[in-house]
Amino acid sequence: MNTKNLSFRTRSIHVGSNRDPQTGAVVPPIHVASTYVLPGAGEPSEFDYARTGNPSRQRLEQLVASLEGGVGGLAYSSGMAATHGAMMLLKQGDHVIAGADIYGGTYRLLHKVLNQAGIEVSLVDTRQIHRLDQAARDNTRMLWLESPGNPLMSITDLEQCCRWAKSRKILVGVDNTFATPVLTRPLEFGADIVMHSATKYLGGHSDALGGVLVTSQTEILERLHFFQNAVGNVMSPWDAYLVGRGIKTLELRVREQSSTALRLAEFLSQHPRVRSVNYPGLEQHPGYEIARRQMDGAFGAMISFEAGDDFSQAKTMVESTGLFQLAVSLGAVESLIEQPASMSHAAYDREDRLAHGITDSLVRISVGLESFDDLKADLSQALDSMD
Amino acid sequence: MVSPSRDVKQVSSAEPQGPGLSTLSVHAGESRQKPANSLTDPIVCASTYSFENSQAIIDYIEQDQQRGEYGRYGNPGEWVVEQKLAALDGAEDGVLYSSGMAAIVGLFMTRLNQGDEVIFFDECYHRSREFCTKHLSRFGVVTRQVKACDYEAMEDAINENTRLLVSESPTNPHLSVVDLERFATIGKKHQVDTLIDATLATPYNLRPIEYGVDYVLHSATKYLGGHNDLLAGVIVGSKEKLEDVRKLRGIMGAINAPHSIYLLERGLKTFELRMERHNQNGQAVAEFLADHPAVEKVYYPGLESHPYYEVAQETMRGFGGLVTFLVKDADWRQTANIVDHCKIARIAPSLGGVETLIEQPLVMSYFQCTPEERKRFGIQDNMIRVACGIENTADLIQDLSQAIDQATDS
C-alpha cells in the first residue's frame, strides 16, 4: 500500500503494520529472536542479530519516521538513550547549545556526563535569537531545542532557530516529546533530528520505556545507526510492539488530552490560589502566537502553574489530588501531577533551577484522558487543601 | 496521600452522577496504589499461588477471600478488567473468558439443564447458533429460533421449560436493533432470564442492564480490546446471577491469559475515544454507500431508511462501525471483486479494531452453507460487511469509492 497520500491518522494505524506475509495476521507478530539464521556463511541478510535490527523495532521506526516526515528512524531503550544517541554525533572539543527550559535528564546528560567527554555546553533562552548569537562559538556543532519547554512550557520558534543554525552549519535536534508529531513536525521547520521519549505520548499508556530518533538525512541516519549498533541501547521488541500499538490512537489521545488541558488551564488561571499558569494555549502566554503557527490546532496536554505561596504548600497540593497521581513522567492516559523542584528537575542545581524560573511552588500536570469535569473537581479540591 | 473516599474503585458507575465514561475506562477496577507502587497493573503470569501456611488456606476457603489459588480460578489482572467492564456497563460484576464464544457457552452450560429450552432471535453470529442447534441439543436442551425482533413470536414460544431469552443488538450482519424494554419485560413477565449480546454496540452505545436485561455479553476481542490483538469474552450482570457462572468457568477452564488480559485493560483506556471515531466513520461510510449508484441497499441503524432507525434512536447513543450493504446487480464474484480492490480495508473476519476490515459473508462465514440455508439466514450473494476502524474518514470513503469504481470497470 502506498501510504504517502494518506492522512496522519490513517498512517498512524497502517504504516509498519502491513499484513504479515507468512501468517496473514492483521497485526504483525512480535519478533523476539535475538539472532537470525543466515542464508550462508558471510552472506548478508536483512536481519542478522537483534541489536543491529529487529523486525518489530523496524516497524516502529518506519512508523514514527512517517509521522515525523523523515527518511528513517531509530528506536532506543529509553528517551535518554535516544538523546544520548544523537549527542554521539558530537566529539571532544565540540560545543552544544541547549534550551534553558529542558528536561532535567537532558540537563544532567549535558552537564554531568558529556562534559566529561570534553563536550562544552551552554544553556540559552532559545526564545531570543540574539542569545543564540551571544552563545555561538566557532566549535558550536549542535543546537538542542524543546518546544514546549519542560517545565515552563516556553515556546521556541523552531523555524527561526533552524534558519539561524543552518546559516552556521550547526545541526539542530528537537526533543518533540511534549508536542508530538500530531501537533508539531520539526523536520518541516528545518530541524535535522527529532527526538521522542516514546515512553510518553507515543506509547501513551505508562507501560513501555523507549526513545526514538528521526532524521531528515540519510547520512545522519547511517551514522546514528552505526553508533546505536556499537553501543547497543536498542528498544526491546515487546516495548516496540506496545509503543506501536499506542500510536494507533495517538492522534485521538493527543487532541482529546489537549482540549481538556486548555479548559483546565483556563480554570487554573481564574483560581485565586494559583499565581501563574504556563500553558501556550492561553492568550496571555508569551509564546501564544508562535504556538498557534507551530502547533497544529492544539497546544498539548502539559501545564505548569504556581500553587500557593511556597514549597510546602505546593507539596501539600500535589499530595492531595485523587485522580491526578503523584508521579514523574507524562503523556499517558492517566493524569499525573508533580513538583519539578523535588521531582523531575531535582537533577538541576537549585540556583540553576531558580535562575530558569523553576520556583519551589511550581506544579506540573500531565493531563490524561479522564473527563474534564472529574479532573477539574480534583484540582479544585487539591488547591483548597492548601488552606 | 490516598484516602479511601477518593479511591476510584469505590465509585460505583451505577450512581447517576458518577465519573465520566473515559474516567471509568482509565481508572475503574484498579487499585490506586499498586504492587511496587507501579502506575499500571503488573502482569501476573503465575499459574499457581502460594499460601503462607495451612491456616491461610483454611481462611481462604472459609472466608471466601478473593486471592490467587490456581490460575484457572482467577488472576489479579482479570479481576481488575472484570470490574472495569462491569463499571462501563453499569453492572455489579463481570466474568471474563478466553473468547466471546467461551463466554456464551459458559453461560449456556451454567443456566441450561437437560429438558430446558432457550429461545433466540434468529439473526445472530453463526457460531452461537451452531452451538445451540448442534451441541446444546446433545445435552437435551431445546433451542427455539424466532424471527428477529418479533416479540409476539418470542412470547408465544415460551413454555414452562424456557430458561433463557437471547438476542444480539444490533444483530450481525443485518444490524437489527432490539427494543430492550420489550425484550426485558417479556423475560420478567415469564420469569425467564434475558441475555443481550451487545458486542456490536458496546457499553458506549447501548446499556442493556439499565433496561433490566439480566446478562450482557461482549466479545471483548472486538471494540473493547480494540486493536485486533487479543481474544476475550465477558458476561456482566448481578453478582448473584454470575456466582454459578464463575464457578463453572473454574471447572471448564475457559479463563483468559494474563498477557491478553493486560492488553484488554490497556485497550479499554482509549475506549471512549475509539468508539466516538468508530461511530463517526460508520455513519459517514453508511451515508456514502447509501448515496452510491452501485449500491442497492445499506444496513445501518443510523440511517433513516433502516427499519429499526426509531428503536436505535431511542436506545443507542451511536451506531458503531459495522456497515453492511448490497451491491446493485452484482453476483457473488462481482461483489468479491469490490472486496479484493480495497487497499486500506483488509479482508478478514472480526471487527471493532482500529484497522478497518472488510468481508463478504457468503465467502467468509457462510461458504459451506447451502443456498437455502443462506437464504434462511438472510445472507445474500451481493452482501458486503465493512467493519470501520478509526482511520481518517475521508481515507476510508476514498478507499471504498475506488474499490467500487475499479471493480465496476473491470
Q: Does the beta carbon of A6 lie under 8 angstroms from any beta carbon of chain B?
A: yes
In DSSP terms, which residues pair with B359 in a beta bridge?
Answer: B385
Best of A254, A259, A319, A371 to substitute, by most chain B Cβ atoms within 10 angstroms, is A371
Which residue matches cell numbers 452510491? B292
Which residue matches cell numbers 503494520? A17
Q: Quote the CA–CA distance of A317 and A299 in Å, as a whole number.
A: 25
Which residue matches cell numbers 539542530? A172
Contact A334 B392 (CB under 8 A): no
Phi-psi category of A153—alpha, beta or left, where left has phi over 0 and alpha has psi -120 to 50? left
* CB < 8 Å to B393, chain A: none
Q: Quote the CA–CA distance of A222 and A216 in Å, as a whole number.
A: 12
Can you read off the three cell numbers belonging to residue B369? 452453507
The separation between CA A107 and the C-alpha centre of its own chain, rounded to angstroms, equals 14
Residue A4 is classified by DSSP as T
* CB < 8 Å to A368, chain B: 26
Q: Quote the CA–CA distance of A371 and A358 in Å, as a whole number.
A: 29
* CB < 8 Å to A9, chain B: 390-392, 395
Q: Does the beta carbon of B34 lie under 8 angstroms from any beta carbon of chain A?
A: no
Contact B269 A333 (CB under 8 A): yes
Cα dihedral A6/A7/A12/A13 (nearest 10): -60
| Residue A349 pLDDT | 79
| Residue B15 pLDDT | 40
Q: Which residue of B has its CA nearest to A324?
A: B32
Q: Does the annotation mark A9 as catalytic?
A: no
| Residue B3 pLDDT | 33
Q: Does the beta carbon of A259 lie under 8 angstroms from any beta carbon of chain B?
A: no
Q: Which of B269, B346, B391 lies closest to A26 in CB terms? A: B346
Q: Is A368 helix (H, G, I), strand (E, B) or coil?
A: coil
Chain A: give the shortest CA distance to residue B229, in Å: 7
Q: Does the beta carbon of B29 lie under 8 angstroms from any beta carbon of chain A?
A: no
Q: Which residue of A has its CA nearest to B393?
A: A10
- ipTM attached to this prediction: 0.85
Residues of chain A with CATH 3.90.1150.10: 250-384
Q: Which residue intervals of A33-73 are DSSP H helices?
A: 55-68
Best of A3, A7, A10, A376 to substitute, by most chain B Cβ atoms within 10 angstroms, is A10
Q: Quote the CA–CA distance of B174 and B177 in Å, as a whole number.
A: 9
DSSP result, A66-132? HHHT-SEEEEESSHHHHHHHHHTT--TT-EEEEESS--HHHHHIIIIIGGGGT-EEEEE-TT-HHHH
Q: List Cβ neighbours of B332 (8 Å cut-off, separation of 6 or more).
A: B360, B362, B363, B381, B382
Please list the ranges in chain B whose pLDDT falls under 70: 1-17, 410
In 3D space, the residue among B64, B23, B99 whose CA is nearest the CA of residue B261 turns out to be B99
Residue count (chain A): 387
Contact B391 A10 (CB under 8 A): yes
Q: Does the annotation mark A51 as catalytic?
A: yes
- Angle at the Cα of A359 (from A355 to A364), degrees rounded to 5? 120
Q: Quote the CA–CA distance of B406 and B410 in Å, as a whole number.
A: 6
Can you read off the three cell numbers belonging to residue A182? 500530531
**Active-site residue among A76, A103, A241, A279?**
A103
| Residue B410 pLDDT | 65
Q: List Cβ neighbours of A165 (8 Å cut-off, separation of 6 or more).
A: A143, A171, A172
Q: List Cβ neighbours of B342 (8 Å cut-off, separation of 6 or more).
A: B358, B399, B400, B403
* CB < 8 Å to B355, chain A: 13-14, 17, 26-27
Q: Quote the CA–CA distance of B59 and B66 in Å, as a whole number.
A: 11
pLDDT in tens, A49-79: 999 999 999 999 999 999 999 999 999 999 9
Q: Does the annotation mark A200 as catalytic?
A: yes
Contact A371 B22 (CB under 8 A): yes
**Active-site residue among A175, A239, A360, A378?**
A175
Chain A: give the shortest CA distance to residue B82, in Å: 19
Q: Quote the CA–CA distance of A131 and B249 in Å, as a whole number.
A: 68
H or E element in which residue A353 lies: helix A350-355
Q: Is A140 helix (H, G, I), strand (E, B) or coil?
A: strand
Peptide bond into A151 cis (omega under 30): yes
Chain A: give the shortest CA distance to residue B340, in Å: 13
* CB < 8 Å to B273, chain A: 249, 252-253, 256, 369
Residues 175-234 of A with CB under 8 A from B: 205-207
Chain B: give the shortest CA distance to residue A69, in Å: 18
CA atoms A300, A306, A307, A310: torsion sign: positive
Q: Is A13 helix (H, G, I), strand (E, B) or coil?
A: helix
Q: Which residue of A has its CA nearest to B266?
A: A205
Buried-state track A225-249, b at ≥16 Cβ within 10 A, e below 16: bebbeeeebbbbbebbbbbbbbbbb
C-alpha pair distances (Å), A149 with each of A16, A287, B164, B166, B206: 30, 11, 60, 56, 43
- Angle at the Cα of A216 (from A49 to A147), degrees rounded to 5? 105
Encoded amino acid at A169, one letter: K
Q: Quote the CA–CA distance of B67 and B65 in Å, as a whole number.
A: 6
Residue A174 is classified by DSSP as E
**Active-site residue among A59, A200, A253, A273?**
A200
Q: Does the beta carbon of A316 lie under 8 angstroms from any beta carbon of chain B?
A: no
* CB < 8 Å to A332, chain B: 39
How far apart are the two ends of chain B, measured CA to CA in Å? 68
Residues 352-391 of B with CB under 8 A from A: 353-355, 357, 389-391
How many CB pairs lie under 8 A apart between chains A and B? 115
Residues of chain A with CATH 3.40.640.10: 8-247
Peptide bond into B258 cis (omega under 30): no
Q: Does the annotation mark A103 as catalytic?
A: yes
Q: Does the beta carbon of B20 lie under 8 angstroms from any beta carbon of chain A?
A: yes
Cβ-in-10-Å burial (0-12, 13-18, 19+) of A188 comes to: middle
Q: Which residue intervals of A177-249 are DSSP H helices?
A: 180-183, 218-231, 237-247
* CB < 8 Å to A26, chain B: 228, 346, 348, 350, 353, 355, 357
* CB < 8 Å to B3, chain A: 322
Over its length of 387 residues, how does chain A's per-residue pLDDT go in tens digits? 677 789 999 999 999 988 788 888 889 899 998 988 888 888 888 999 999 999 999 999 999 999 999 999 999 999 999 999 999 999 999 999 999 888 889 999 999 999 999 999 999 999 999 999 999 999 999 999 999 999 999 999 999 999 999 999 999 999 999 999 999 999 999 999 999 999 999 999 999 999 999 999 999 999 999 999 999 999 999 999 999 999 999 999 999 999 999 999 999 999 999 999 999 999 999 999 999 999 999 999 999 999 999 999 999 999 999 999 999 899 999 999 999 999 888 877 788 889 888 999 999 999 999 999 999 999 999 999 998
Assign 3-class secondary structure to chain B: CCCHHHCHHHCCCCCCCCCCHHHHHHHCCCCCCCHHHCCCCCCCCCCECCCCCHHHHHHHHHCCCCCCCECCCCCHHHHHHHHHHHHHHCCCEEEEECCHHHHHHHHHHHHCCCCCEEEEECCCCHHHHHHHHHHHHHHCCEEEEECCCCHHHHHHHCCCCEEEEEEECCCCCCCCCCCHHHHHHHHHHHCCEEEEECCCCHHHHCCHHHHCCCEEEEECCCCCCCCCCCCCEEEEECHHHHHHHHHHHHHHCCCCCHHHHHHHHHHHCCHHHHHHHHHHHHHHHHHHHHCCCCEEEEECCCCCCCCCHHHHHHHCCCCCCEEEEEECCCCHHHHHHHHHCCCCCEECCCCCCCCCEEECHHHHCCCCCCHHHHHHHCCCCCEEEEECCCCCHHHHHHHHHHHHHHHHHC
Report all structural domains of chain B as residue ranges with CATH numbers, in order of start: 19-268 (3.40.640.10), 271-409 (3.90.1150.10)
Contact B354 A256 (CB under 8 A): no
A250-384 CATH: 3.90.1150.10
Tell me which of 3.50.50.60, 3.40.640.10, 3.60.110.10, 3.40.50.720 is the CATH number of domain A8-247.
Answer: 3.40.640.10
